[in-house]
């Protein structure tokens, strides 16, 4: 069966510091991978998606970037965090079907 | 513009009191409609995918239905462990990697 991992689970960072969140998927090959952000009282917002190694599509221009160095690894980064980057970050994967399966999430607080 | 609206925002039920959650959507050609359950501080858990009007799917006390403009999540004889936020999302034809989420319905089932 497939398993998706995210770390860290929680993170508190000062404004202006860098960010690196990691997501890995087990038990499947060549999945589509996604990064979402969930802000309080708002729906999940798609940030980036990837259909293969090195292939990244951005949905929302912002202070963040994504990379996919390996088939089942997806990384969300920032060079300098803003207060508005606080939120719950979710990684998801999908097979050939449209259904997406989510990881446990990372709670990011920028102070 | 593709949009998803969920109602009510919050619902409080007594154990055993059946009810329905609504998900209204506007999308330029529906590829799929998805229901997820989200517990506090956790990632969304997949429940159902519906593809066409008239389709129904069931899982334990939950039943999802789909029309051309909305979907209902029926909860029969709920238990306290059904308490969670229920999220609805749609995927449009041609936007095969993007889910549009509603803001969810927070369900509380009291014993």
A6, A59, A102 member nearest B44 (Cβ):
A102
Residue A96's pLDDT is what? 75
* More confident: A37 or A62: A37
Contact B109, B19 (CB under 8 A): no
Profile chain B (111 residues) by mean pLDDT over runs of 10 residues: 94 98 94 96 96 96 97 98 97 83 96 95
> How far is A99 from chain B, CA to nearest CA, in Å?
7
- Cβ distance B49 to A42 less than 8 Å, yes or no, reads no
If pLDDT is split at 50, 70 and 90, which confidence band does A60 have?
Answer: confident
Q: Is the pLDDT of residue A55 over 70?
A: yes
Give per-residue pLDDT as tens, A72-81.
999 999 999 9
A41, A43, A49 member nearest B101 (Cβ):
A43
If pLDDT is split at 50, 70 and 90, which confidence band does A62 have?
Answer: confident
Residue A61's pLDDT is what? 65
B43, B46, B103 member nearest A90 (Cβ):
B43
- Cβ distance A98 to B4 less than 8 Å, yes or no, reads no
Residue B96's pLDDT is what? 67
Selected residue of B97, B101, B104 to mutate for chain A interface (largest A Cβ count, 10 A): B97
> How far is A43 from chain B, CA to nearest CA, in Å?
4
Give per-residue pLDDT as tens, B47-71.
999 999 999 999 999 999 999 999 9
Residue B82's pLDDT is what? 98
């Amino acid at each position: 069966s497939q398993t998706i991992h995210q770390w860290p689970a929680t993170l508190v960072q000062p404004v202006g510091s860098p960010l690196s969140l990691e997501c890995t998927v087990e038990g499947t090959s060549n999945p589509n991978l996604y990064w979402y952000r969930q802000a309080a009282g708002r729906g999940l917002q798609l940030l980036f998606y990837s259909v293969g190694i090195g292939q990244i599509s951005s949905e929302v221009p912002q202070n963040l970037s994504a990379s996919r160095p390996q088939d089942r690894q997806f990384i969300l980064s920032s060079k300098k965090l803003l207060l508005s980057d606080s939120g719950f970050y979710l990684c998801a994967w999908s097979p050939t079907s449209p259904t997406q399966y989510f990881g446990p999430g990372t709670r990011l607080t920028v102070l | 513009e593709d949009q998803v609206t969920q109602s009510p925002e919050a619902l409080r039920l007594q154990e055993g009191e059946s009810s329905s959650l609504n998900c209204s959507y506007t999308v330029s050609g529906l590829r799929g409609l998805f229901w997820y359950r989200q517990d506090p501080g956790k990632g969304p858990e997949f429940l159902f995918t519906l593809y066409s009007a008239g389709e129904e799917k069931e899982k334990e006390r939950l039943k999802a239905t789909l029309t051309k403009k909305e979907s209902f999540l029926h909860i029969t004889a709920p238990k306290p462990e059904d308490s969670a936020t229920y999220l609805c999302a749609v995927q449009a034809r041609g936007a095969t990697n993007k889910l549009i989420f509603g803001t969810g319905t927070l369900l509380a089932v009291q014993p």
